Structure 1
């Protein structure tokens, strides 16, 4: 049968290829966040350090994702990575020097969801993940992609997560949750009376939306705790036993997935005299959370406030180095903050002004909520 179509009738038998918007970084923000200059504030400084150094790490590792250290050295002109470089891998089709991947893309989605409501509303968080996928996935892992596609099809957030999704997609984007708890419970953290249950519940919900895996959930909680401590200048080693005890307690409440995250993290304190290459060999640096996350924690604990060197060490260790460097950047940046010299280093990160503006909006949203709760 021949179907006659008028000039104005669309041919529904043909599917148009949607435009590739991944290279248009501003689209990942729901609005323009205006100027990037704000009055300096010690807490906002920590927020900026965490998010900007995370984005810098993501961008620094992006051109070398998945390759081995020696290959990084060769691809970078017989030299180790010392800053941002333009990609020559698959990202080159839509990213330039300073471009970021899913680590920063979903960090943005999580912060914007909070700014919209002033709370960790899971339905809003799910909505922002779906929106971000619609613009274009910048190197998303399988668990995140499949889960957000289920969200898009109408599956509720508490059933969308991929069972056994053991990638590192939670600690890479969860920095804002750590900052939130570090600010709201600052007095308790400094006094050593911080109750972790409220933090754990929020992070668990965010985690199971995409990664229904005990190790991914635990890594998200551990990352948030470290960031909350770091931004309050609390030495993580002084609280290490307490954090580990709580981590083991959480693991016992979650389904048994075999090897636990805590069994890998426990080796770190006694081996911090060793170099980063030791931890890369011990844990490996792939996308599995029980590999890349313990490595990232060790890298952070070796460099602490030296965010730039910590990020570069993670990049040059190879593997899933955009994500490990982003995680290290979040941790080191939360502890170091962001001074003028550091601002100069990170200013070439894609959408720098919008990131700074969003961080400021996120910070103000938390502060306004705290003021409303004050008698």
Structure 2
């Protein structure tokens, strides 16, 4: 089998990282660290959720959740509508997705920021206003496709695209800065960077993102990320969780995801394992950390059997989607050069 071009391997790695981190964290999501240890021991592989899990009950081991499903929905929207972001279509897409989730008897529904924003948008509130309270991590968890289609050469241009995708649901400085930092790591990864070399641009993107949206929530997301990276460089997973936090707030979970990747030395599987045991919003921290580590290592950076299991259990076709997203990236690169 011929070796994939690097950009394609990195784009697949980003999408695969979302899925792997999401699925590993699925059985432990919402549980504090101690309860994860009491229930599962130390999670080192895909496991089914415990009986009666408040969110994941009934899912098989290696199943993805809303993090990956929303990421792939956003990717397909970008492919269908190149060159523009249709706020109403995005709202309708996710509302239809939630209805399907309910029909499947699952409990992983739209997050609070997203739900409120879509209800307001469909009732006639302008898209520039609907997301002005959203500081949770929903935008960062699904931003990987935006990063794959957007070249990393211009921080301002990349943050423009992130802000556009955040507008309806997470139009705040905290959420935009957090999503912009993640997106820059992924975009730089597609260009061939490793995690460490992508960080300066990611911090710059976070600072630029903090100038966008409503002045709500964390004003120094870059500082939060730097603090998490510093703890990870000198401390432990427990210290990272205790000091930074692991809740759905972007200032906690997104910063923690950066620390997780550093703790893992950039290894995407190790990052997903750390996230699965870190406590609270484990699946989303895993998805975000996985996207960044996956983009910076490529699909080849994952254990082949783990990646194959994710693809098989969830019937994913990541290569076809990655190719379509990279076509858009090439178009944007040509447009920027012209």
TM range (shorter): 0.7 to 0.9
Deviation at 1:301, TM superposition (A): 2.2
Deviation at 1:353, TM superposition (A): 3.0
Q: Which residue of 2 aligns with 1:263?
A: 223
Q: Matches of 1:48 and 1:288 in 2, distance apart? A: 27
What does 1:16-27 correspond to in 2, within 5 Å?
none
Deviation at 1:93, TM superposition (A): 4.7
Counterpart pick for 2:158 among 182, 199, 216: 199
Q: Matches of 1:48 and 1:241 in 2, distance apart? A: 23
Q: TM-score, normalised by structure 1?
A: 0.78
Aligned length: 326
Counterpart pick for 1:325 among 283, 286, 289: 286
Q: Matches of 1:171 and 1:97 in 2, distance apart? A: 24
Deviation at 1:287, TM superposition (A): 0.9
Counterpart pick for 2:109 among 111, 136, 139: 139
What does 1:1-375 correspond to in 2, within 5 Å?
40-76=4-40, 79-88=41-50, 89-123=53-87, 124-136=89-101, 138-153=108-123, 155-161=125-131, 163-181=132-150, 185=151, 194-238=153-197, 240-241=199-200, 243-252=202-211, 254-257=213-216, 259-260=218-219, 261-271=221-231, 272-339=233-300, 342-349=303-310, 350-367=313-330
Deviation at 1:299, TM superposition (A): 1.0
Q: Matches of 2:111 and 2:62 in 1, distance apart? A: 21
Deviation at 1:140, TM superposition (A): 2.5
Q: Matches of 2:323 and 2:211 in 1, distance apart? A: 37
Of 43-52 and 348-357, the range deviating more from structure 2 = 348-357
Q: Matches of 2:337 and 2:208 in 1, distance apart? A: 32
- Would the aligned equivalents of 1:69 and 1:317 in 2 still touch at CA under 8 Å? yes
Of 361-370 and 140-149, the range deviating more from structure 2 = 361-370
Query: Per-residue CA shift, 1:44-63, capped at 9, x if unaligned?
Result: 11111111121111111111
Q: Matches of 2:133 and 2:126 in 1, distance apart? A: 18
Q: Matches of 1:303 and 1:54 in 2, distance apart? A: 16
Are the structure 2 counterparts of residues 149 and 333 from structure 1 closer, same or farther at C-alpha, using a change threshold of 3 Å? same
Unaligned ranges ≥5, structure 1? 1-36
Are the structure 2 counterparts of residues 131 and 267 from structure 1 closer, same or farther at C-alpha, using a change threshold of 3 Å? same
Of 281-290 and 296-305, the range deviating more from structure 2 = 296-305
Q: Matches of 1:354 and 1:154 in 2, distance apart? A: 36
Q: Matches of 1:366 and 1:247 in 2, distance apart? A: 21
Are the structure 2 counterparts of residues 373 and 216 from structure 1 closer, same or farther at C-alpha, using a change threshold of 3 Å? closer
Are the structure 2 counterparts of residues 246 and 369 from structure 1 closer, same or farther at C-alpha, using a change threshold of 3 Å? closer
Q: Matches of 1:83 and 1:368 in 2, distance apart? A: 39
Q: Matches of 1:169 and 1:275 in 2, distance apart? A: 26
Measured on the aligned residues, the alpha-carbon RMSD in Å equals: 2.8
- Bigger-Rg structure (1/2): 1
Q: TM-score, normalised by structure 2?
A: 0.85
- Would the aligned equivalents of 1:227 and 1:331 in 2 still touch at CA under 8 Å? yes
Query: Per-residue CA shift, 1:3-45, capped at 9, x if unaligned?
Result: xxxxxxxxxxxxxxxxxxxxxxxxxxxxxxxxxx997222111
Unaligned ranges ≥5, structure 2? 103-107
